[in-house]
Amino acid sequence: MGKAEHWQNYLTQMNEYAQFKLGDLVEAWRGHIDRLLREQDSTLEDHSVWGAHDYAAALHLRDGVARGLNTLPDEGRFDAISLVRSVDEIFMQFTEPDIACLVVRFLATDECRREWWWYRIPTRGPVRDELQGG
């Protein structure tokens, strides 16, 4: 098994009930970011677009990716981190700091235990509109 297969098949615990291959989590993170980016010029009136709960799902996926990267053995780590960073860069380009903590307030969650991606908000689009109340 090569380095790429090693990290992609590395099982990552998402919660006490579910574990997934790290490669699948990274692909899901990329897929969520791609869709959110594509839909940023849509409106809430289009009920087929993703909203704030879908955005939160993407952020939870990123938590799983981080958990996997943090426990991944050295073999393949560089390749995995490089791929995740490229997706993170896209995420950073269409989001900005969530200075009003809209995501944390929307989910009524504990902000103290969240990573940096929980403190970013899309610059425009249905997710932002929903987080801002409409």
Tens place of pLDDT per residue across the chain (134 aa): 454 568 999 999 988 999 999 999 999 999 999 999 999 999 989 999 999 999 999 999 999 999 999 999 888 889 999 999 999 999 999 999 999 989 988 988 766 668 999 999 999 999 999 999 85
Identify the H or E element spanning 23: helix 22-38
Domain ranges, residue 56:
3-131
Which of 46-51's residues contact partners 24+ apart within 8 Å by CB, and which partners? 46/126, 49/125, 49/126, 50/126, 50/127, 51/126, 51/127, 51/130
Residues comprising the chain, all counted:
134
Cα–Cα dist 124/120, whole Å: 12
In this prediction, residue 96 carries a pLDDT of 98
In this prediction, residue 1 carries a pLDDT of 46
Number of domains in the chain: 1
In this prediction, residue 15 carries a pLDDT of 86
